[in-house]
Amino acid sequence: MDFTPAFDLELQLEGFNGPLDLLLHLVRKQKMAISDIAIAPITEQYAAYLKRMEELNLDIAGDYFVMASTLMLMKAKSLIPREKESFEEMREELIFQLEEYEKIVAKAAKLRERHREMARSFPRSFKEKIKREEREFKVGDNGVFLLVEHYAKVVERLKALRPILIKPKPYTMKDVLALLFQVFREKRKARFSSLVHQRERGFVVYAFVSVLELVREGSLRVTQTDTFSEIVLQRRGIFNEEKQAQLIARFE
């Protein structure tokens, strides 16, 4: 059989369960003992596999790239004499990780085999009803998990139901001033309450600030006969486009 890397890879694609699995595969292909792992060639082969996976448009998990960068860092350290100790440490760590992983794979295979064997026997599947109703509540082994799962479901459902709020565009000082200018281009007198009739609080505040500004620079005169009584606004100056632009510039 032809074992060019690409062909080999395509055979293996479904099989890799993570970076350690791929690494272990490469070590075995070299017929090396894990403890003899040569970092430089393994790094290159590993990178070649990742590249090939990308070429095949496989969705490669970030985990593979993390390992690739670790390997590259190790390779770099191996070339720098004063990093020798650090390199050896990393290499030992990787060897330990691979050896442990190899054991896990063996254990997983054994468990799977046992399960397959066990699955050949069937339990009694009919559930007989011999029970009294008033029984106490008991929580199964997975109680806490069920609790958080149920809560997660509620939260997810609420998220899905949450209306998308379209926030009303907030008023700008510019909008409010434009409105005041429009009113006083036509009228000499206006009641403050009519200007802000059915407007929300933000608008009222902006309008009041605008009025104060216009009073300050002599364009309006304000009269109020009593506390909380009607504020009457009277035009004194000019309300044209130029003036409006000038005032807006001041607020910006």
Partner 1 sequence: MDKDFKATIEALIFAADAPLSVEKIARILEVDSELVQNAVDELSADYKPRGMNLFELAGGYQFLTARRFYPMVLKMKDTDRSLSLSQAAFETLAIVAYRQPLTSQEISAMRGVQSVSNILRKLQELELIRIAGRKDVIGRPMLYRTTPKFLELFGLNSLGDLPSLEEIGVNES
| 215 touches 223 (CB < 8 A) | no
Residue 118 CB, shortest distance to partner 1, in Å, is 4
x/- contact string, 55-84, with partner 1 (CB under 8 A)? ------xxx--xx-----------------
Site size with partner 1, rule: CB under 8 A: 70
Rg (CA), the chain: 38
Q: Which is nearer to partner 1, 147 or 212 (CB)?
A: 147
Residues 6+ apart with CB under 8 A from 181: 239, 243, 244
Residue 155 CB, shortest distance to partner 1, in Å, is 6
Torsion of CA 18, 20, 21, 23, to 10 degrees: 120
Q: What is the largest CA-CA distance in the chain?
A: 103
Choose the binding region for partner 1 from 80-88, 151-159, 179-187, 214-222 (rule: CB under 8 A): 151-159
What phi, psi does 224 have (nearest 5°)? -140, 125
Instruction: Give 190's strand partners.
Output: 233
Residue 10 CB, shortest distance to partner 1, in Å, is 18
**Interface with partner 1 (CB under 8 A):** 15, 17-20, 23, 61-63, 66-67, 97, 99-112, 114-128, 130-132, 135-159, 161
